[in-house]
Chains A and B, each alone.
Chain A
Amino acid sequence: MSAEALTENSPASDFWLGVRASIPTVVAASPFALLFGALAVDNGMSVTEATLMSATIYGGASQMVGIELFGHQVAPWLIVLSIFAVNFRHVLYSASVGPRLAHWPPIKQAIAYFFLVDPQYAEAEVKSERGEEVTFVWYMGMALPIYILWVALSAAGATFGGLIPNPHAIGLDFLLPIYFLGLVTEFRDRPLWLPVVLISAAASILAYKFVGSPWHVSIGAAAGIVFAAAMPKRGAAL
């Protein structure tokens, strides 16, 4: 993205590059953290439980689904299963980003996988797509601001429930799709990008209508991935 990113970086500047990469996510996720905290308390959780959920699960969409079901007195195992279903896409992230972290010491890898949320994965892929090394320092520089803000603002939202007077007016509900679209276009140089995007979009919309959330994520993604794997030769078609 910028000239200094192409040179060898000191650990400190590598850390700050990571922090800079976290900014869009921090901006986009902060309102959701507040909202999550407020909704969790609204659905019968304590402030401590809401905060603990953000600190240990650290996955916005799955936490939202979790507290929604929690509020409806759904069986505990079903809540856990739903959290698993929403987060299942991380298996793919993990498999895909794994080789880029494989040269780190195991303990650092174990720590890094805990923080492997959507934007973290995408930025790591984007970085290595540019031919840069994904370092642990850079990775944590991006992960820590997001994580700390996520946990702190969940606690704040849980404590001051009605903090957001009109979430719709500040675009709260639609900031993440915009950000995710930006991430999608970052990968436009990859083989079969356009057909994969079109197929996954169509499949996720159909699954959303006929199967329901959160399965549209797994089904839509599977359609694009299977298509890419089934094509005869990489990049030959387009």
Chain B
Amino acid sequence: MSTTLWIILAGALVTYATRVGGHLVLSRFEHVHPRVEAGLNAVPAAVLTTLVAPAALGAGPVEWAALGLAGAVSLRGGLLPMFLVGAAVLIIGRHLVG
């Protein structure tokens, strides 16, 4: 087997380990401590924020407008409307501003 193939398969294995591992480790405990539960409750917002914040900081006015408007829509509407608004602002803005 080539080195490339090994890299891909090892990468797949460690990735699957991360996806199944959290549950396997946590399910060993009978009771979840309230602090652990509070921490786990914070996981989605905490992780997803890190995929937005640095990208937003390194972007420009068009991207900020897209994020801002999409963010405003997301407080009222669902995920799909906010996404479509954001994408539209982004594409139109980039055509206008270049």
How many Å lie between the Cα of A226 and that of B75 in the bound state? 26
Beyond the given A175-B83, A181-B52, A224-B45, please list 15 additional residue pairs across the A-B interface where CB-CB is below 8 A.
A24-B79, A49-B5, A56-B12, A58-B15, A91-B21, A95-B22, A169-B94, A171-B66, A174-B66, A177-B59, A181-B70, A184-B52, A191-B38, A192-B42, A229-B39
A83 interface residue per 8 A CB criterion:
yes
B90 to chain A, nearest CB (A): 4
Interface residue stretch chosen among A11-19, A109-117, A145-153: A109-117
Closest residue on chain B to residue A65 by CB atoms: B11
Which residues of B does A touch, CB under 8 Å?
Answer: 3-12, 14-16, 18-27, 34-57, 59, 63, 66-67, 70-71, 74-75, 78-80, 82-83, 86-87, 90-91, 94-95
A108 to chain B, nearest CB (A): 13
Chain A residues with CB below 8 A from B53, complex form: 200-202, 204-205, 220
How many Å lie between the Cα of A38 and that of B56 in the bound state? 25
Which residues of A does B touch, CB under 8 Å?
Answer: 1, 23-24, 27-28, 45, 49, 52-53, 56-59, 62, 66, 70, 76, 79-80, 83-84, 87-98, 101-102, 109-110, 113-114, 116, 118, 121-122, 125, 168-171, 174-188, 190-193, 196-197, 199-205, 208, 213, 216-217, 219-231, 234
Q: Is the interface of B mostly helix, strand, loop or mixed?
A: helix
Closest residue on chain A to residue B82 by CB atoms: A182
Ordered by A's residue number, 27 sampled pairs between the chains whose C-beta atoms are within 8 Å are A27-B87, A52-B8, A76-B6, A80-B10, A80-B11, A83-B15, A84-B15, A89-B47, A98-B26, A114-B19, A118-B48, A177-B63, A178-B82, A181-B67, A182-B70, A183-B48, A188-B75, A192-B38, A196-B45, A197-B45, A203-B50, A204-B49, A217-B50, A222-B46, A225-B40, A229-B39, A231-B38
